[in-house]
Structure 1
Amino acid sequence: MTDHLWLHFARQSPGVSPPIITRGEGVTIFDDAGKSYLDGLSALFTVQVGHGRAELAQAAARQAETLAFFPLWGYATPPAIELSERLARYAPGDLNRVFFTSGGTEAVETAWKVAKQFFKLTGKPGKHKVISRAVAYHGTTQGALAITGLPKYKAPFEPVTPGGFRVPNTNFYRAPEPFDADAKAFGRWAADRIAEAIEFEGPDTVAAVFLEPVQNAGGSIPPPPGYFERVREICDHYDVLLVSDEVICAFGRIGSMFACTDFGYVPDMITCAKGMTSGYSPLGAMIASERLFEPFYGTDTMFAHGYTFGGHPVSTAVALANLDIFEREGLNDRVRQQSPALRATLEKLYDLPIVGDVRGEGYFFGIELVKDKSSKQTFDADEKRALLGRVSAGLFEAGLYCRTDDRGDSVIQLAPPLISGQAEFDTIEAIVRGVLTQESGAIA
């Protein structure tokens, strides 16, 4: 049945058919046999307002009837204009210039190219390198892949675009001594590794630092107190651009339209996608400060970059309708109010010997699984692969769609739609508990 479909990030074998999802309604998805599952991942950190919102489909249809497509290559369309104004209003500081893409990877690719050309135009042509964190995912195109801190994702495609360098991430559960008892000191240490990397590579060669507000790969890793304040100081000192990669974290996932606001920093660029349309149509964006846009404005200089479907009229119309739902239903306030309850519900799982850490922010959490709780011993590669395979299958069979992540240590990731509440939290906890109780018995 699926013989001609090449799946993304999936191993495929003859005679093995993947689950086929046919319908969504609210926080629930259904397969082709009619079985229902709680969507504990918002499809892919994307369906913020839930499935089956007729008004978003209707917004797409209305726009398609009026103007189905026209590119932004030297032209503009009304929904792209309106959405750019709205995003600029939501963004912090003077991040007022919106470059639309088709998705998140393209937004990251765009940001790096902006950084390179900006410094060429402002008399610092050697600044082209980027720094990101270990185990961080920033996309799959050759440029974005160079920023991604996951060696196994790059190995099949090397050599990738040169210029990407890594620093430690902010997983406090795995903090080295003597910082494992003081989150603020650990945050300062982790931020200072960025300054160290800039010095080592040469400040005249480093263009940008790419950081997610809460790092996805490795399991929903939040920033320690003071981390981003120190990173901002470092970037300002070395004239390095700070890019807040919010492809996952924007649009209410952490509690504000842009998560940099939640953590009190103003970046030079924001990359975003996913929740902008709640996945009802593909769309991404790079949002830049006035400082970065200035060399491209009122001159003969062109940013020679673009995408056919970037800022697609249907997608931008859907995004506007999606953001109307955010405002009408107060979804950001809902996340801020309900997040402590989600955390507390998941933390009940600490009584299981396999659960080492529960971490995250907003509606974006990870549960790290360990072999030995007292020593925080993790699983070796073979054990991890087998464990997460069983856990993933068990959770799905029990009626929960979420994600197991092996890109760092062993993690279950949870990011329910923003319309979820205590009933959904309890269901998630009960299903995860049932599956992990079996695994705890197996490793005891």
Structure 2
Amino acid sequence: MDQRDDYDHLQKAGKRHLWMHFSRHGVYDDDHDIPVIVKGDGMYIWDSRGKRYLDALAGLFVVQVGHGRQELAEAAAKQAGELAFFPIWTFAHPMAIELAERIATYTPGDLNRVFFTSGGGEAVETAWKAAKQYFKLTGRPTKTKAISRQIAYHGTPHGALSITGIPSLKEAFEPLVPTTVHVPNTNFYRAPEHGDDVEAFGRWAADQIEEAIIAEGPDTVAAVFLEPVQNAGGCFPPPPGYFQRVREICDRHEVLLVSDEVICAFGRLGDMFGSNRYGYVPDMITCAKGLTSGYSPLGAMIASDRVMEPFLQGTNSFAHGYTFAGHPVSTAVAMANLDIFEREKLNEQVRETEGAFRGTLEKLLDLDIVGDVRGDGFFYGIELVKDKATKETFNDAESEKLLRGFLSKALFDHGLYCRADDRGDPVIQLSPPLIAEQSHFDEMEQTLRSVLTKAQSLL
């Protein structure tokens, strides 16, 4: 089969048999092919036609150490040759134990217990179930509700999707798990209160969590789920003092604070955990993605000793688990991935260059369509606006035309893989591998400038 025949076969088979995630399959007709990525090396990926793209999204906020790291492939092969699979249901294996111990050395406070999952949504699901059972075991069975922020994304399982604060993602699957409440996020660019004082805005946003707890009844609320930097909506960092205030509120009302770090952990913000960067100690952390840099699926819920304590008593058990969680190959890959982090000082690399990354992206603020550039570490959102002076955003039809009708395809055609997102106001998200350097920042800015300039002319 020659290269052209192979390409045609992949397109035909893909359109006939592959059900892709979060995809509009109706667009893939005879005139529109499925993008098929076949190779990755460092900061770049290649499609089945041989075209190269800068991966400015690290796959999906995942490939921290870059593509094509042979030592990770070798770690997987070596472990598969020794013990390819065994569950951690009652039993254990060395890699799961060693990785759990290593993760505990990175966590804030006393978060020492690691419950492995296959991915991030499962980790969030696990945290909510653990919170509910924790309160049942400690004599407060009515504490079951979860609070999260508007537009926040926390995963696709029914529980995690209920915690998610994006109505359009939930409508097709309702009714979902009840007893979830959503409060304002930390988008200072569109602050409904204290738009001239970021610290006052942060206190106001945190206080909305307390108001929700009181309105629901403190004896009914189990947990608050917050990302260190909220992803959906375009990278909302926490205002100064925000998480410290939230910690006080959760302690006052005996509510567990869950730091959802599926994206923010393992270097994305220049630390192993975003909670370390912003100086707060949650009761649980959920993580995945960067733990293995995507070379094998793995996630985790990490709990404090306090949360774990009632599960250690007598015959108590957390009747919850996943077949492939803590998989021997995945945990071996994670150990090798963390070796790279430490040897190449990737967290230090992010902290040393995040200012240059931000500064390069902020050059785009001279474009009329760019309203805001925000984020931290290697995790940024660029909000697009219809009117820069008034911050007027696009309506649904305009956003559809701008993002899906033009930008997504145009950026990819220009060799930049990133994300044009409309789960809130229209944004472009950039989250490159942690090995990115100034030349890559420049390439992103130049490509974005070219495409966004053209987008302006189409409006």
| Structure 2 length-normalised TM | 0.96
Provide the secondary structure at the position in 1 that maps to 2:129. Answer: helix
Report what 2:439 is aligned to: 423
Provide the secondary structure at the position in 2 that maps to 1:38. Answer: strand
1:196 and 2:211 are equivalent in the alignment: yes
Counterpart of 1:136 (choices 152, 155, 166) is 152
CA distance in 2, matches of 1:288, 1:442: 50
CA distance in 1, matches of 2:256, 2:270: 25
Report what 2:22 is aligned to: 9
Report what 2:197 is aligned to: 182
Q: Give the Å deviation of 1:392.
A: 1.1
Provide the secondary structure at the position in 1 that maps to 2:135. Answer: helix
1:212 and 2:224 are equivalent in the alignment: no
Q: Give the Å deviation of 1:173.
A: 0.2
Counterpart of 1:266 (choices 275, 281, 291) is 281
Counterpart of 1:244 (choices 259, 269, 280) is 259
Counterpart of 1:39 (choices 55, 64, 71) is 55
1:363 and 2:357 are equivalent in the alignment: no
Q: What code does the residue aligned with 2:453 have?
A: T
Q: Give the Å deviation of 1:67.
A: 0.1
CA distance in 2, matches of 1:197, 1:99: 29
- Following superposition of structure 1 onto structure 2, how do residues 328-367 of structure 1 map, counting pairs within 5 Å? 328-367=343-382
Report what 1:28 is aligned to: 44
Q: What code does the residue aligned with 1:205 have?
A: T
Counterpart of 1:98 (choices 93, 108, 114) is 114
Q: What code does the residue aligned with 1:412 have?
A: I
Report what 1:308 is aligned to: 323
Deviations 1:334-359 (A, max 9, x none): 00000000000000001000000000
Q: Give the Å deviation of 1:439.
A: 1.4
Report what 1:324 is aligned to: 339
Q: Give the Å deviation of 1:361.
A: 0.3
1:382 and 2:397 are equivalent in the alignment: yes
Q: Give the Å deviation of 1:304.
A: 0.2
1:69 and 2:91 are equivalent in the alignment: no
Q: What code does the residue aligned with 2:429 have?
A: Q
CA distance in 2, matches of 1:4, 1:17: 14
Gaps of 5+ in 1: none
CA distance in 1, matches of 2:33, 2:159: 33
Q: What code does the residue aligned with 1:303 have?
A: F
- Following superposition of structure 1 onto structure 2, how do residues 48-197 of structure 1 map, counting pairs within 5 Å? 48-177=64-193, 179-197=194-212
Q: What code does the residue aligned with 1:209 have?
A: V
Provide the secondary structure at the position in 2 that maps to 1:23. Answer: strand
Provide the secondary structure at the position in 2 that maps to 1:219. Answer: coil
Provide the secondary structure at the position in 1 that maps to 2:143. Answer: coil
Provide the secondary structure at the position in 1 that maps to 2:383. Answer: strand
Deviations 1:95-154 (A, max 9, x none): 000000000000000000000000000011000000000000000111001100011111
Counterpart of 1:432 (choices 418, 428, 448) is 448
Provide the secondary structure at the position in 2 that maps to 1:181. Answer: coil
Deviations 1:157-203 (A, max 9, x none): 100011111000000000014x1000000000000000000000000
CA distance in 1, matches of 2:113, 2:439: 40
Report what 1:400 is aligned to: 416
CA distance in 1, matches of 2:203, 2:446: 37
CA distance in 1, matches of 2:457, 2:354: 30
Q: What code does the residue aligned with 1:272 have?
A: C
Q: Give the Å deviation of 1:299.
A: 1.6
CA distance in 1, matches of 2:49, 2:247: 51
Provide the secondary structure at the position in 1 that maps to 2:248. Answer: helix
Q: What code does the residue aligned with 1:262 have?
A: R
| Structure 1 length-normalised TM | 0.99
Compare 13-22 and 193-202 and name the one that shifted more. 13-22
Provide the secondary structure at the position in 2 that maps to 1:180. Answer: coil
Q: What code does the residue aligned with 2:17 have?
A: H
1:224 and 2:239 are equivalent in the alignment: yes
CA distance in 2, matches of 1:59, 1:45: 22
Q: Give the Å deviation of 1:17.
A: 2.8
